[in-house]
Each structure stands twice: as structure tokens, then as C-alpha cells.
Amino acid sequence: MNRQDISFDEWLSLSESEQEQLQKEWNPYEEGYWHTLRAMAERRFRDEFGANPHILDVHGGIYHGGILIIGVTLDLPRGKDG
């Protein structure tokens, strides 16, 4: 599989170990196809769940340690432990 042309559906079809192997090659702080995958995941999440009235924002980013994430901002009150 040409990693530069992988679609989000192809990514989802990979096993967890195959996904982990590809992630080891990523440098999320530089440009690369992984940012396209993140954008596709963000778009899919927004399409599937964006109509929920409690979702204020959906955005992609990089979590501590270089893990690509989809961040979701809700208008729900924090729990007593939060």
C-alpha cells in the first residue's frame, strides 16, 4: 500500500498493529499524509455527530507526545470530579 495515498477507510481497515506500525513512521510535527487522515477523521466525526446540540466545536490537533487527536468541545457541565 502506498502510504501517501491511504484513505481514511483504508486506515480503518488496517489492524491495530498495522496502524501502530505506520504511526511509528510519523513525525506529526511535520507535514505528511497523517494530517490528511486526521482531517478525514475530523470531518467524519463532524458529519456523524455534529448535529448533536451539545457539540460546540470539533477540531484536530496533536496531543502531548505527538499523538494525533480529534478534540471535541461540549457545552455539558463538568462532573463533580472534573
28-80: pLDDT as tens digits: 888 888 888 899 999 999 999 999 999 999 999 888 878 889 999 999 988 76
Residues 33 and 3: beta-carbon distance below 8 Å: yes
* Report field, pTM of the whole predicted structure over 0.85: no
> Is residue 18 pLDDT above 60, yes or no?
yes
Q: What is the mean pLDDT of residues 8-37?
A: 87
Handedness of CA 63, 15, 34, 44 (dihedral sign): negative
Question: For the chain, where are the E strands, in sequence order?
Answer: 55-63, 67-74
User: What is the three-class DSSP state of 54?
Assistant: coil
